[in-house]
Structure 1
Amino acid sequence: MKNKKQLKIGELFSGPGGLALGAYLAAKKTQLFDYEHAWAVDNHEHTCETYIRNIKGATPDSVFCEDIRTFNMKNLRNASDKIDGFAFGFPCNDFSVVGEQKGMQGDFGPLYTYGLKVLRMFEPDFFVAENVSGLTSANQGEALKKILKDLEQAGPKYVLTPYLYKFEEYGVPQARHRLIIVGFKKSLGIKFKPPKQTHLKKFVSAKDAIEKTPIKKDAYNNEKTVQSDLVVKRLSYILPGQNAWNAAIPKAYQLNVKGAKLSQIYKRLEAEKPSYTITGSGGGGTHVYHWSENRALTNRERARLQTFPDNFEFMGSKESIRRQIGMAVPPDGAKVIFEAIFKSLHGIEYDHIKDDDIYIPGMKRK
């Protein structure tokens, strides 16, 4: 791969395009490859529309809006006879630390196996698999062990490097921790090294992300949420970093909730720190709240915390857009990883994490 070439990448569970945009930006920065979209599959209509609207080369013929469990995977061959790379953020519902954590026993846990089918069909040089940090402990750690073993043995066999990335350490203005598994075809003789953190000493704050470059009045997806008088009053008693449960709120404005009390309910951001994790679903009080104004963030503000550029237009209803933003991989985080992948393919050295520090919490070091 000494000469610059087109690098075709296919995706399952593509979301609105966070991984794809990250790969495109990495190719543009490193100038080692030209990014080429091959195909993408996702089961959410508005998400597919967003992907087609924003990702270079994506068309209604190359983006399949279908449930992978009933999708005819032969259609992928029709879209592209080969791919060089493969990315899949297999659904995380059953591995998330928020919820029941059903793991492999849930409806979503086994969906990673469709990624195995792609690896057998196309035998790409590399793949990137993304999931929540909760995967490391699902089913007492047995789920991750099985997934790693299956990925390692898939198709031509792969050399894996799983690593728990804390994206705020890479310049993303959000404490978002995700397990990323990078695999290289064994025959290539490449052992991937996670790129070294770039922002350990100075995180990007929520305020800088949202305000350093003002959002234009006519920016996409920037409609404000209308807050009720009750919510405005409740927020007025919540300080930055506090939530509905630990703030000194008069009884008249308190929530009457029994059972589990999620820490993100009506939680305000802290201006000088990265945001807490942006989520894609939830009822009242889960929309992420401004540090000084008594309101929820707009979707565009959430998108900035996820590092989507302002010219990235999300399609669909307000709640659908919120879902897409919350479920996406931050493009700037994906970009750092793809830069390291592209350099690895070319045998180019880069700053990386030491071997002794490449391990997954809860698992034995190799």
Structure 2
Amino acid sequence: MNSFKKPKVFSFFSGSGFLDLGFEKSGFDVVFVNEHHKPFLDAYKHSRKKMNLPAPKHGYFEGSVDSEPLKRKVEFLIESLKKTDIVGFIGGPPCPDFSVAGKQKGKDGENGKLSKVYIDLILKNKPHFFLFENVKGLWKTAKHREFYDEMKSSLSKAGYFLTDRLTNSIEFGVAQDRDRIILFGIAKSLLPQKYNENLLNNEFGWMNHALYTRDGVLDKKLWPSKSTFEENSVLTNNWTSVINELTVEYWFKLNNVDNHPNAKHYFNPKPTTTKFQSTEEGEVSKKSFKRLHRYRYSPTAAYGNNEVHLHPYKARRLSAAEALAIQSLPFEFELPNTMSLSDMFKTIGNGVPFLLSKAVAITIYEYIAQKNLLIQQDIPYLTKATI
């Protein structure tokens, strides 16, 4: 009888592991984790321990993805693993240099350069498949799109079929308007001889696990605009068009945020700050001091660069527990008490929403299962001659 093997995954730019958790919960075995910022890696380890998930078989690597020790370790591990297992790379390189709201340094910025480093790591080690995630600015801004297309061209020439999509988290049940470009690649040598990229685009089910369409749920006519702020107010949901499962309040209740281990982790306002009382519920048009509406989805969870998101009906900023709920993490996921508030909100804002990561992971799993790549068998050994 044929036996099915879990695909092995190497994770890069792992942060506190939101993307990885989606893969872990979808049939993949995350065997190697890389993150350069120690507090994020500590949080990754802490959350897995709390959730009773195993540590990666081949360990954690704290350091830059561009470091020689990391490159040597990855090369050593993957050469052995891909002889007997389907192996993939997943990662979302830091993206502020491509962000529409950022400084637009692009591929020449310190963070922007890391996208090419990740692609080069793929080209050198030739995993059977890979996932690349980044902000929509890389795909929609002309000068960044040229760089993105160059990376895709390199991957195609190296022997990968590619498919990508500008995806919004809200399509998959996340109470957040968050656009991201997601690129999936698979080695041509694993597929039938006459297979082509058009077939991949047709067969890869980007929307197979979507619950909504972006344009359908982001129609402003469906949602309340603003309500007068009053601390601890009670507001009845009289908007019949509201999709309850996509509201901030739904996720706050689902995750029992007031009793979550990170419930008290939030920045306290300065006594002289009046915006905590004066900003209306639902006022999200400004760059900072956005007050979420309890019966609406959140704007993109970005908590750096002085972008402040306020609680809908409390005169304070969001807690880490509330921000985790907006990122659709399960209640069981928690950040360590020893982590600084700055690091907590940075890792939350940087992370891929859990429900999005899980949907993409399931889609990849279903695709490679459809191609019979999960059955224990002889796997084409990827060398320079075959890819």
TM-score normalised to the size of structure 1? 0.80
Aligned to 1:363: none
For residues 168-207 of structure 1, the aligned pairs below 5 Å read: 168-189=170-191, 191=200, 192-196=204-208, 197-200=210-213, 202=243, 204-207=246-249
User: Are residue 68 (structure 1) and residue 57 (structure 2) matched?
Assistant: no
Which residue, out of 112, 116, 122, partners 2:115? 112
What is the CA deviation profile of residues 155-205 of structure 1, one whole-angstrom value per residue up to 9, with x for unaligned ones?
xx1111110001111101111110000111112337133124313464611
Which residue, out of 167, 170, 173, partners 2:169? 167
State the SS of the aligned residue for 1:184. strand
In structure 2, the gaps of 5 or more residues are: 192-198, 218-242, 372-387
Which residue, out of 282, 297, 319, partners 1:241? 282
Distance 2:100 2:269 in 1: 29
Flag the 1:82–1:116 CA change in 2: closer, same or farther, 3 A.
Answer: farther
Matched-pair contact (CA < 8 Å) for 1:220–1:310:
no
User: Are residue 139 (structure 1) and residue 132 (structure 2) matched?
Assistant: no
Flag the 1:59–1:187 CA change in 2: closer, same or farther, 3 A.
Answer: closer
Flag the 1:242–1:62 CA change in 2: closer, same or farther, 3 A.
Answer: same
Distance 2:268 2:300 in 1: 22
Flag the 1:122–1:132 CA change in 2: closer, same or farther, 3 A.
Answer: same
Question: How far off is 1:62 after superposition?
Answer: 1.4
Flag the 1:4–1:221 CA change in 2: closer, same or farther, 3 A.
Answer: farther
User: Are residue 328 (structure 1) and residue 351 (structure 2) matched?
Assistant: yes
Aligned to 1:50: 43
Aligned to 1:311: 332
State the SS of the aligned residue for 2:34. strand
Matched-pair contact (CA < 8 Å) for 1:103–1:138:
no
Flag the 1:187–1:277 CA change in 2: closer, same or farther, 3 A.
Answer: same
Question: How far off is 1:20 after superposition?
Answer: 0.8
Distance 2:350 2:320 in 1: 13
Distance 1:133 1:123 in 2: 26
Distance 1:124 1:341 in 2: 14
Return the letter of the residue paired with 1:303: L
Question: How far off is 1:2 after superposition?
Answer: 6.2
Return the letter of the residue paired with 2:280: L
Flag the 1:71–1:16 CA change in 2: closer, same or farther, 3 A.
Answer: farther
Question: How far off is 1:40 after superposition?
Answer: 1.6
Flag the 1:320–1:138 CA change in 2: closer, same or farther, 3 A.
Answer: farther
Deviates more, 1:109-118 or 1:328-337: 109-118
Question: How far off is 1:102 after superposition?
Answer: 1.5
Distance 2:275 2:100 in 1: 27
Flag the 1:164–1:227 CA change in 2: closer, same or farther, 3 A.
Answer: same
Flag the 1:59–1:336 CA change in 2: closer, same or farther, 3 A.
Answer: closer
Which residue, out of 292, 296, 299, partners 2:320? 299
Aligned to 1:26: 26
Distance 2:174 2:364 in 1: 19
Flag the 1:218–1:307 CA change in 2: closer, same or farther, 3 A.
Answer: closer
Return the letter of the residue paired with 2:364: I
Flag the 1:218–1:237 CA change in 2: closer, same or farther, 3 A.
Answer: closer
Matched-pair contact (CA < 8 Å) for 2:257–2:325:
no
**What fraction of aligned residue pairs are identical, expressed as a percent?**
25
Question: How far off is 1:4 after superposition?
Answer: 2.0
State the SS of the aligned residue for 2:344. helix
Which residue, out of 152, 159, 163, partners 1:148? 152
Question: How far off is 1:307 after superposition?
Answer: 1.4
Distance 2:145 2:23 in 1: 30
Return the letter of the residue paired with 1:217: N
Distance 2:260 2:206 in 1: 39
RMSD after superposition: 2.4
What is the CA deviation profile of residues 124-183 of structure 1, one whole-angstrom value per residue up to 9, with x for unaligned ones?
2211100000101151631221121122233xx111111000111110111111000011
Question: How far off is 1:88 after superposition?
Answer: 1.2
For residues 208-357 of structure 1, the aligned pairs below 5 Å read: 208-217=250-259, 219-220=261-262, 222-231=264-273, 233-242=274-283, 263-283=286-306, 286-315=307-336, 316-347=339-370
Question: How far off is 1:78 after superposition?
Answer: 4.7
Question: How far off is 1:230 after superposition?
Answer: 2.8
TM-score normalised to the size of structure 2? 0.76
Matched-pair contact (CA < 8 Å) for 1:222–1:301:
no
